Chain A
Amino acid sequence: MTTTNPSVITDEMRAIVGVEGAPATLEVERTNCRMFARSVGHADPIFYDVDAAKAAGYRDIVASPGFLGTPIFNPNRPPAGPAEMSGRGYSIPYKRVLNGGTEYEYFPENDVICAGDTITVRGKIAGFEETTGSIGPMLITKRETTYTNQDGKVVAKMYGTTIQY
């Protein structure tokens, strides 16, 4: 006998699909570009050396793959963590969370992220899906985040998948 699990997706959750959250600002600077590249183990000088980056046709040191800037940290502002983890004001009955994967899309025809850039990031929930796997019933949340530079050009999009079960 199979049992159908009741859906955990509520009208409240459906209503927020596609709704953009408050924008945040990310800073791309030479020091954090270098630190990111160093921590991955990159050897390409375009990630470290301004002259090498310019000689290769870039405005400044290039942000290496996966680096989209550092959020502006302020200890006097409440952290955004827990609210983001549980969603935006909705709660679901599952306790465990898995990162289902991350995909970045770049738009080099618009611009390449370089040191000196200020990136505005806007995120939204792209959709919810429910499925049952070996670990039981799961809620899959798809998020889409858009990264726009100081010239209003979309330089990257991030597609994230969160699995709760």
Chain B
Amino acid sequence: MKMVAGQELGTTGMAVNSDAVAEEPAVEARRISKIFQGETEVRALDDVSVSIRRNEFFTLLGPSGCGKTTLLRVIAGFEPPTMGALYLAGTDISRLPPNQRPVNTVFQNYALFPHMSVANNIAFGLEMLGKPKDEVRQTVDDMLRLVQMEALKTRRTSEISGGQQQRVALARALAPHPEVLLLDEPLSALDLKLRKEMQIELKRLQNETGITFVFVTHDQEEALTMSDRVAVMNAGKILQIGSPQEIYQHPAERFVANFIGESNFLDATLSGGTVDLKAGGRYDVTVPEGVAEGSVSVLVRPEHASVRSGPAGDGEMSGTIETVVYSGEATTLHLRLATGEPLKARSPNSPGEGTLPGQGEEAAVSIGAGAVTVLRD
């Protein structure tokens, strides 16, 4: 049985028929395209399909202008898709206006109502749903406790700090207990320390409320820290969807590898299940779909390459150290391999004196098993 979520709102809140949707994805975008007509045609979303599971912390990651915010706005209902359909727990909501979708948004600059107190901001959604006064008051108090803002209940939103506004925005969006919470770069305006705190806080809130979070960010570290799954986007397309580990360790494309973490790209020859690096060494790899045998490009993360002084032995790559960069917990060596390719290698610093080779020295580089990933260019 399917019902339009909007019809439910007035009386029973967001309770969408739970037994029927247990295995349905929370949000499913089917072949959505969004084209902005202007002086030039902009294809903000290009045939995007994605399925977001229930209770998942799902992140849309990409550089600015990649379409991640547009996708979020399509889910919220602010932008109608040019093509395609959007399903919420199995129901087509493509045509519902934002106020009939059981989806709430935490806006990038919070968009708190400046003429209302903290409590009235949080109560707004509940009042609009026509909840009885007692229930509204109760929920507002619960939300204030959840985001630890009880003390500032009666303050104006213009009288509280950025981090506090952030919490109020979260509480306001969570108060009506939506099916899905959309977060549009909510941490980008906070300073580093506060951002780290809020990352953990958000994760806690998601666990406690059991609401599906769809999080938009351009910060790869934020995406890796918080998400259950990440979708990497570029130029209106989703390039790869996977867990943070999958995305980081086995990026499918050069763009994904480059965007997330630091990368070394090396030339190699693929035959059977193994690659021969041009600079030396043979490694077993899993071959992604659509990659033909022959000349390929492989990825090696800097922390998977280890360096020692001296000439290269069998299966090792030889190179010269060009720069040594010390950064507290680790040291990064920038090498030039014998093939002319640049390579970065990072190793954690130990408490004693470092035994790493110094600048200008000849060095041998080896790569750990399973650390070589073949890329689909």
A, B co-complexed: no
Interface residues of B (CB under 8 A from A): none
